[in-house]
Protein backbone atom coordinates (compact mmCIF):
# COMPACT_ATOMS: atom_id res chain seq x y z
CA UNK A 1 0.00 0.00 0.00
CA UNK A 2 1.12 3.53 -0.74
CA UNK A 3 0.30 6.58 1.37
CA UNK A 4 0.45 10.00 -0.26
CA UNK A 5 0.31 13.14 1.89
CA UNK A 6 -1.02 16.58 1.08
CA UNK A 7 -1.27 19.50 3.48
CA UNK A 8 -3.47 22.56 3.11
CA UNK A 9 -3.32 25.05 5.97
CA UNK A 10 -4.59 23.15 9.01
CA UNK A 11 -5.66 20.00 7.14
CA UNK A 12 -3.64 16.89 6.36
CA UNK A 13 -4.92 14.52 3.69
CA UNK A 14 -3.63 10.96 3.51
CA UNK A 15 -4.49 9.17 0.26
CA UNK A 16 -4.41 5.39 0.67
CA UNK A 17 -3.63 3.32 -2.42
CA UNK A 18 -3.85 -0.47 -2.38
CA UNK A 19 -4.68 -2.92 0.39
CA UNK A 20 -4.59 -2.05 4.08
CA UNK A 21 -3.76 -5.33 5.79
CA UNK A 22 -1.59 -6.53 8.67
CA UNK A 23 1.70 -5.80 6.91
CA UNK A 24 0.78 -2.41 5.46
CA UNK A 25 -1.03 -1.22 8.60
CA UNK A 26 2.38 -0.69 10.24
CA UNK A 27 3.23 2.14 7.83
CA UNK A 28 -0.18 3.75 8.38
CA UNK A 29 0.26 3.49 12.14
CA UNK A 30 3.65 5.17 11.80
CA UNK A 31 2.06 8.09 9.90
CA UNK A 32 -0.75 8.50 12.43
CA UNK A 33 1.65 8.30 15.38
CA UNK A 34 3.86 11.20 14.27
CA UNK A 35 3.64 13.96 16.91
CA UNK A 36 3.07 16.75 14.37
CA UNK A 37 -0.17 15.14 13.18
CA UNK A 38 -1.91 16.56 16.24
CA UNK A 39 -1.06 20.08 15.07
CA UNK A 40 -3.66 19.77 12.30
CA UNK A 41 -7.30 20.63 12.84
CA UNK A 42 -8.39 17.85 10.51
CA UNK A 43 -6.96 14.64 9.07
CA UNK A 44 -8.78 13.51 5.96
CA UNK A 45 -8.36 9.94 4.70
CA UNK A 46 -8.88 9.59 0.94
CA UNK A 47 -10.06 6.02 0.37
CA UNK A 48 -10.68 6.25 -3.37
CA UNK A 49 -7.88 3.79 -4.18
CA UNK A 50 -8.21 1.71 -1.02
CA UNK A 51 -9.25 -1.68 -2.39
CA UNK A 52 -9.31 -3.71 0.82
CA UNK A 53 -9.14 -3.18 4.57
CA UNK A 54 -8.48 -5.91 7.14
CA UNK A 55 -9.22 -5.94 10.84
CA UNK A 56 -5.60 -4.87 11.42
CA UNK A 57 -6.14 -1.82 9.22
CA UNK A 58 -9.36 -0.95 11.03
CA UNK A 59 -7.55 -1.42 14.32
CA UNK A 60 -5.04 1.28 13.42
CA UNK A 61 -7.80 3.85 12.94
CA UNK A 62 -9.63 2.72 16.08
CA UNK A 63 -6.45 2.91 18.17
CA UNK A 64 -5.88 6.56 17.18
CA UNK A 65 -9.50 7.72 17.35
CA UNK A 66 -9.49 8.72 21.03
CA UNK A 67 -6.11 10.46 20.77
CA UNK A 68 -7.37 12.55 17.86
CA UNK A 69 -10.60 13.39 19.68
CA UNK A 70 -8.70 14.41 22.82
CA UNK A 71 -6.49 16.71 20.73
CA UNK A 72 -9.47 18.21 18.88
CA UNK A 73 -8.40 16.73 15.54
CA UNK A 74 -11.23 15.60 13.27
CA UNK A 75 -10.69 12.34 11.41
CA UNK A 76 -12.75 12.24 8.21
CA UNK A 77 -12.91 9.48 5.60
CA UNK A 78 -14.04 10.17 2.05
CA UNK A 79 -14.23 8.60 -1.44
CA UNK A 80 -14.76 5.19 0.17
CA UNK A 81 -15.49 2.30 -2.17
CA UNK A 82 -18.68 0.38 -1.39
CA UNK A 83 -16.88 -2.84 -0.39
CA UNK A 84 -14.68 -0.95 2.09
CA UNK A 85 -17.61 1.10 3.38
CA UNK A 86 -19.56 -2.12 3.98
CA UNK A 87 -16.81 -3.35 6.33
CA UNK A 88 -17.11 -0.13 8.37
CA UNK A 89 -20.92 -0.51 8.44
CA UNK A 90 -20.93 -4.20 9.41
CA UNK A 91 -18.69 -3.45 12.39
CA UNK A 92 -20.67 -0.33 13.35
CA UNK A 93 -17.65 1.92 12.79
CA UNK A 94 -19.64 4.22 10.54
CA UNK A 95 -21.34 5.51 13.71
CA UNK A 96 -17.97 6.14 15.43
CA UNK A 97 -16.16 7.73 12.50
CA UNK A 98 -17.07 10.45 10.05
CA UNK A 99 -17.48 9.04 6.54
CA UNK A 100 -18.61 11.28 3.69
CA UNK A 101 -18.84 10.68 -0.06
CA UNK A 102 -16.64 13.47 -1.44
CA UNK A 103 -13.56 15.56 -0.72
CA UNK A 104 -15.70 18.70 -0.73
CA UNK A 105 -17.91 17.31 2.00
CA UNK A 106 -14.88 16.16 3.97
CA UNK A 107 -13.39 19.63 3.76
CA UNK A 108 -16.58 21.21 5.11
CA UNK A 109 -16.98 18.86 8.11
- What's the CA gap between 31 and 71, in Å, rounded? 16
pLDDT of residue 24: 94
Domain 2-108: state its class.
Answer: alpha beta
> What are the pLDDT tens digits along the chain (109 aa)?
999 999 999 999 999 999 999 999 999 999 999 999 999 999 999 999 999 999 999 999 999 999 999 999 999 999 999 999 999 999 999 999 999 999 999 999 9
Task: List the Cα angle 14/80/11 in 5-degree steps.
Answer: 30
CB distance 53 to 82 below 8 Å: no
pLDDT of residue 58: 94
How many other C-beta atoms lie within 10 A of the C-beta of residue 36? 7
Amino acid sequence: MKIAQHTDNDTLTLALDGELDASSSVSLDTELTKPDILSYRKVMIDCQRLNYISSAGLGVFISHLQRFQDAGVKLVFFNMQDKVHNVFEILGLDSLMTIVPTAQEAASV
